[in-house]
Amino acid sequence: MAFGSFENGGSSQPMAEINTTPLVDVMLVLLVIFIITAPLFHEAVPIDLPQVDATRLDDPPQIVSVAIDAAGEVFVDGLAIARSDLAGRLAAIGAAGGKPELHLRADRGTRYERVTEVLADAQRAGLVRIAFVTEPAR
């Protein structure tokens, strides 16, 4: 190690050299460790995994689109439905099997009572998966 001499040679400034010998020693030790352990990372560990038969995922649900305009008229899948026929149409969709989803769109000017009537008809028909479709604010 280079500490300089103990005699006061007229220079009172501190030594500005960095001793790199310990750094090189540590780097060589780390290099040897990595050389020894690197082949161990490529070893495969035998694992006995369980075998599973892939089952088919459920089919996507049938989507029933119900829209209510500002005048209170109801449209099921784009077709206008009379107020008295709505409950029967929703009951037929609910009895068809599966678990259909009801996507409900309502105009901003629609009265809340009309929306609740449609929701009540859907609930009586057995449609329990109901989504409210909205537009993002601009």
Residue 89 has φ and ψ, to the nearest 5°, of: -65, -45
Q: What is the pLDDT of residues 14-61, one digit of tens each?
A: 777 888 898 999 999 999 999 988 887 776 667 777 777 777 766 787
80 has a pLDDT exceeding 60: yes
Q: What is the mean pLDDT of residues 107-113?
A: 90
Answer yes or no: are the C-beta atoms of 105 and 64 closer than 8 Å.
Answer: no
70 has a pLDDT exceeding 70: yes
Q: In what order do the strands lie in the sheet with 101-106?
A: 79-81, 74-76, 63-68, 101-106, 129-133
Give one word for 118, left, alpha or beta, with left for phi > 0 and alpha for psi -120 to 50: alpha
DSSP 103: E
Q: Which run of H or E residues covers position 130? A: strand 129-133
Any residues with CB less than 8 A from the CB of 15 and at least 6 apart, and which?
2, 3, 4
